[in-house]
Amino acid sequence: MVVNDVKVAVVIPSYKVKAHILGVIKSIGSEIQTIYVVDDCCPEGSGDFVELHNQDPRVVVLRNPENQGVGGAVMTGYQAALADGVDIVVKIDGDGQMDPTLIESFISPILLGDADYTKGNRFYDLEKISAMPKMRLFGNAVLSFMTKLSSGYWDLFDPTNGFTAIHTDVVRHLPFNRISRRYFFETDMLFRLNTLRAVVVDIPMDAKYEDEVSNLKISKVVGEFLFKHIRNFGKRIFYNYYLRGMSLASLELPIALVLLVWGGGFGISHWIESMNTDIPTPAGTVMLSALPVIIGVQLLLAFIGHDIASGPKHPFHRTRKKVKVKAREELQ
């Protein structure tokens, strides 16, 4: 797609979607300039299948020599887009669950300079989310809350949604060798984007559930997801509140944790002692335990409030463009 010399391409990871991939390609509008189909070492030979049956000249088939998961496939597409001088890259799945006619809605905030990255959100229309499988609905709600904590994007929902668009100025600064390449990819992307202070916007969309079979098994990834969320949360707090800058919130969090641990530990130890001796705990001792806990909770809530309010607000790619223009003017 070319809008004021802005080029837009589409990346389609292809793994066990042979039955749907041609239909997805056919439904992509003529305004898209390039379509990257990434064969992620697909056992169905989807790359060869597309090359044999596809008649769309915009399609470029890329192949990963070994299966790298959805993240690895998307990053292969990102790297090809960077090499081809693309400005915005849209990623959609090849299973037919995503409506390619929504692409314009995904790239518009980026074209207008209001966002660096856009992602789908299937939870806007309360009437239509009833069509979503109940287990997937519950899993998304849990994952969304965990992602808010680890990524810092408190206003986003549906973190595992794979319908996305990103400006390549942001892509250039992503640590490709450190981003999770499998099911945690979309969530890890949000964490990486926050470290760049990129602006992310949710785009309302509907999802179609037909005969597709999801490769994601919640029971197999819940432990991995929990560990990675905790890891990313720790990294984000360290980066944003101690490495890059200090604020009142930088003091509120450690003081809150110390007070909560000390007050809770002190209170529990005296409660156990009272249970064993049948001697009531003095009111002063109770207050000595309760007061640090109350103050700790207040400080923790103050920190969370600051964290929610401090989300990225200035698009990364616009800032970089201003810096480049200023540098060019100084050189002249």
Q: Would you mind telling me the total number of residues written for the chain in this entry? A: 332
Task: Please indicate, yes or no, whether residues 236 and 250 belong to a single structural domain of this protein.
Answer: no
pLDDT-above-90 percentage for the chain: 63
Task: Please indicate, yes or no, whether residues 206 and 278 belong to a single structural domain of this protein.
Answer: no
Q: Which pair of structure tokens corresponds to residue 308?
A: 């929610």
Give the burial string for 114-138 (b: 16+ CB within 10 Å, else e): ebbbbbbbbbeeeeeeeebeeebee
Number of folded domains that form the chain: 2
Task: Please indicate, yes or no, whether residues 53 and 156 belong to a single structural domain of this protein.
Answer: yes
In a domain, 237, yes or no: yes
Task: Please indicate, yes or no, whether residues 321 and 227 belong to a single structural domain of this protein.
Answer: no
Tell me the residue range of the domain where 83 lies: 2-241
Task: Please indicate, yes or no, whether residues 147 and 290 belong to a single structural domain of this protein.
Answer: no
pLDDT band at 275 (very low <50, low <70, confident <90, very high): confident
In a domain, 28, yes or no: yes
Domain boundary among 241, 256, 285: 241
Is the pLDDT at 327 greater than 50? The verdict is no
Task: Please indicate, yes or no, whether residues 56 and 104 belong to a single structural domain of this protein.
Answer: yes
CA distances from residue 51 to 27, 69, 93 in whole angstroms, order as listed = 17, 21, 18
Cite the beta strand spans of 2-112 per DSSP E: 2-3, 6-14, 34-39, 59-63, 88-91
In a domain, 332, yes or no: no
Model pTM score: 0.86
Task: Please indicate, yes or no, whether residues 59 and 179 belong to a single structural domain of this protein.
Answer: yes
Is the pLDDT at 23 greater than 70? The verdict is yes
Query: What's the pLDDT tens digit per position in 228-266?
Result: 999 999 999 999 999 988 899 999 999 999 999 999 999
Is the pLDDT at 182 greater than 80? The verdict is yes
Determine the longest span between alpha carbons in the chain, in angstroms: 84
Residue in 75, 240, 60 with CA at minimum distance from that of residue 171? 75
Q: Write the single-letter amino acid at 327.
A: A
User: What's residue 331's pLDDT?
Assistant: 44
In a domain, 322, yes or no: yes
Instruction: For residues 267-290, give the mean pLDDT.
Output: 88
Instruction: For residues 69-96, give the mean pLDDT.
Output: 94
CATH of the domain at 110: 3.90.550.10
The distance from CA 151 to its chain's CA centroid, rounded to whole angstroms, is 7
- Measured distance CA(322)–CA(111) in Å, rounded: 15
Task: Please indicate, yes or no, whether residues 160 and 267 belong to a single structural domain of this protein.
Answer: no
Task: Please indicate, yes or no, whether residues 119 and 190 belong to a single structural domain of this protein.
Answer: yes
Match 């463009």 to its residue by tokens: 321
Domain boundary among 241, 258, 273: 241
